[in-house]
Structure 1
Amino acid sequence: MEKVAEILAEASAEAVEPRFRALAAGEVMEKAPGDVVTVADREAEAIISRRLRELLPVPVVGEEAVAADPALARALHNERACWLVDPVDGTANFIAGRPDFAVMASLVRDGEAVAAWIWQPMRRTAYAAELGAGTWRNGRPLTRQPAGPDPARWRGSAKSYLRLGRFPGLADEPTAFGELTTGRRSAGMEYPQIVDDELDFLVYWRTLPWDHAPGSLLVREAGGVSARLDGSPYRADPPGGEDGLLVACDPQTWERARAILLGLEG
């Protein structure tokens, strides 16, 4: 667990942090329409991928490698084990000079994340989780307390586009929830807000595996829930699979938030 955390921090120090607010002309590219990448993403992923394979020689499913060759994501279903890597989660923030970005990795076995790491370089904060063993922040164990029964006191996050018909419970103002933000444009910043008792629930639609496998394990091992809207636990599936994900700090909050979001409460 400690070795992977070191790999992420060292790759960040070498390839990412020196370019924060210092990207040169030509170091930001478009990998798909409306989807940008930087040399920092690519260099960090290359460093992390090489070192993870030295640690455990299984396939690496990296966000930037999959952008170049989508077939690589099949390893999540076809291989017994593989690494997942997101070298700069929150690239748009990184490009804009905002500190809300993270470096993430997870180890997946038979489609389930069994270990996860999130490094937040600008906060110098490391999160880790291991299936059946718990969640840690900077080496100290974390357990999240329940949110309580009153939704009017809950703090949540949902992207603004999710208010446009997918979730009836988000359509009206005010919502049933006490506080609802539009997020920080980085799953690696948002999931830790659950375990740090800054948010009580998160709502996502698009669920790329490198974005959501690390945080989902982090939350579950701290006592929370990360599940599809039908109640099935989140799994690290290749892109193009099922959409929609609700994350909450405890099972009761997950059930009640789902009912409100889907308009099932009168």
Structure 2
Amino acid sequence: MKILVFSPYYPPHVGGLESHADEFNKHLSQKGMDITVFTPRIPKNAPDFEIIHNNVKVYRFPSFEIISNYPVPKFWSAVFWKLYRKLFEENYDIVISRTRFFLTSLLALIYAKVKKVRWIHIEHGSDFVKSGGTFSVIIARLYDYTFGKLILVSAEKIIANSKASAEFCRKISPRINCEIIYRGVEIKNIKFVEPDVKIKERYPNDCIITFMGRLIDGKGVADLLNAAKNIKENFKIFIVGDGPQAEALKRLAKK
């Protein structure tokens, strides 16, 4: 089976969607699936083309971030159109897209409709975009209720990676049937991670609480910090990540 994946980001770019897509493709390729990934070339030092895992082919097209964490194809680039047209020369059995508000999902829609291929959309979002200022928030919401909704109603199958994501999909388009498949965990990799002895030695009597992820409203980091006021035992909270809420969370932590 040949699968074409439109991914808004892909390793070496770092993020949850990226690692989810990469692990998903790795395990499918190990089962004999022929997978091609079409993704923005971000960061710029990422190769234009590479083969990873068990023959997973990754094509990266020219792109830029019009705002932070929102990649846009360089539509004026002949290289982009050459790569996109090349996909139409192949006959894929399934098309997969990820997250409705990225333009790669629109590219997937066009491809699936023109080639009349089965299309699965995987939704990672669980709320409207709330970062980037008032103007960005308004535009993002308008986009979700137009193109985002178009993505959700057009795909043959919608998969959400959480209950919250499924509920959000139904909020945008109440009539869609959205199934939930939770993300798996690479247990073998976790077992081989050595504990940071220095941290344990530095705080031998403290309960250590750690958050790792993007610092945005929907992650609940502010709730964690507010709840910390009620913890009576000795504790330390480590927050690992970055995002639009980083400075606000630093101010909250100082309080």
Larger Rg: 2
Question: What range describes the TM-score normalised by the shorter chain of this pair?
Answer: under 0.3
TM-score scaled by structure 2? Answer: 0.25
Select the structure with the greater relative contact order (CA < 8 A; seq sep ≥ 6).
1
Taking structure 1 as the reference length, the TM-score comes to 0.25
